[in-house]
Amino acid sequence: MKETYTLAELRDWGAATAEEQPPLRLAVFGDPVAHSASPPMHNAALEKCAIAARYCRLHVHPEELAEALRLLPKQGFIGANCTIPHKAAALSLMDRVDDHALRIGVVNTVVVEGERLIGFNTDGPGLVRALRAEFGVDLRDLRVMVLGAGGGAGRAIAMQCGIEKCERLVLVNRTLDKARELAAELAPLFRGPRVFGPGERLESVPWEESVLRRQLEHTDLVINCTSVGMKSSDPSPLASAILQPHLMIYDTIYTARRTRLMLAADEAGARSANGLSMLLHQGALSFEIWFNREAPLAEMRAALLAQT
């Protein structure tokens, strides 16, 4: 199997993959996509479940997405995942979108049903499962701070907090206007009778240490959705001095190691986890949607750890 395939190869899939056994019938569409850890994770699951199909990477440029998706039924695909930058564009290219994906406005999982394409989103539900596995908590019970509420991951996670109707949500972003815009969009989801202590249930605040310190006193879970920490030379997005022992810190960065933010949490005596579990559980949910059976989590996790 090649590292990545292209639209030109997808047009003539039989010829491009003639030698491949089991056949390539699932793919992740992205641009770039060479870094994606989804193929080893899903191939481990397919092998464990003795399903005669494999999962590959397809490098698809934005202007190619519509044609690439339309080719899936003709080329015998079971389904696909969409990653950066295709998740929002994929929504309008589906024949049907499930309610949850429609509310979030983003599709990351596609199912081929005859000639039709059905869109789902497993990122948010994947996070919910990851938090349960890592901390034994339910998102809906928590007061949450989302750091990086201006990017794609921050938006999806903040939306999930809204859908779950979590107790309180504080949106923080370097560029404050983006967090404000997101808060305005989310406001209808936070109107309601559930009130937890003083203060607004939904706020957007500037990234200033004194403001964050005050907010953290009324926060249970901090979710880092910034890209700060992706490079090993990056600092922690939050200094240990403003973290407190009661906090749970979830860093969405997926890696086998402890991130700088997790080390800062250790120093403050707070619990923490990295984004590997979110990646794992969104993948497991996609697998369950495609095959209507439980995903083999242990094999998928081992494949991810071997990659990162």
Residues with catalytic function: 87
Residue 227 as a binder of ligand NAP (CB under 6 A): the answer is: yes
First-residue to last-residue Cα distance in the chain: 20
Minimum CB separation of residue 119 from ligand NAP in Å reads 17
Residue 247 to residues 169, 220, 243, 270, 273: CA-CA distances in angstroms? Answer: 14, 5, 7, 5, 12
- For residue 174, give the 3-state DSSP assignment: coil
Nearer to ligand NAP, 16 or 239 (CB): 239
Beta partners for residue 205, in sequence order = 172
Q: How many residues bind ligand NAP (CB under 6 A)?
A: 23
Q: List Cβ neighbours of 166 (8 Å cut-off, separation of 6 or more).
A: 139, 140, 141, 142, 143, 144
The token pair that represents 16 in the structure block = 């491009």
Nearer to ligand NAP, 17 or 173 (CB): 173
In the region spanning residues 150 to 169, those forming contacts with ligand NAP, defined by CB under 6 A, are: 150-154
Stretch that binds ligand NAP, among 18-26, 98-106, 249-257, 286-294 (CB under 6 A): 249-257
Residue 175 as a binder of ligand NAP (CB under 6 A): the answer is: yes
Using an 8 Å Cβ cutoff, are 87 and 106 in contact?
A: yes
How many whole angstroms separate alpha carbon 308 and alpha carbon 5? Answer: 22
Residue 69 as a binder of ligand NAP (CB under 6 A): the answer is: no
User: Site for ligand NAP (CB under 6 A): which residue of 29, 250, 254, 287?
Assistant: 254
Per-residue binding string, ligand NAP, 117-156, x by CB under 6 A, is -------------------------------x-xxxxx--
Residue 246 CB-half CA count within 13 A: 8
- For residue 249, give the 3-state DSSP assignment: strand
User: Site for ligand NAP (CB under 6 A): which residue of 112, 158, 161, 253?
Assistant: 253
Nearer to ligand NAP, 199 or 206 (CB): 206
The contact set with ligand NAP (CB under 6 A) reads: 84, 148, 150-154, 173-175, 178, 225-228, 230, 252-254, 275, 278-279, 282
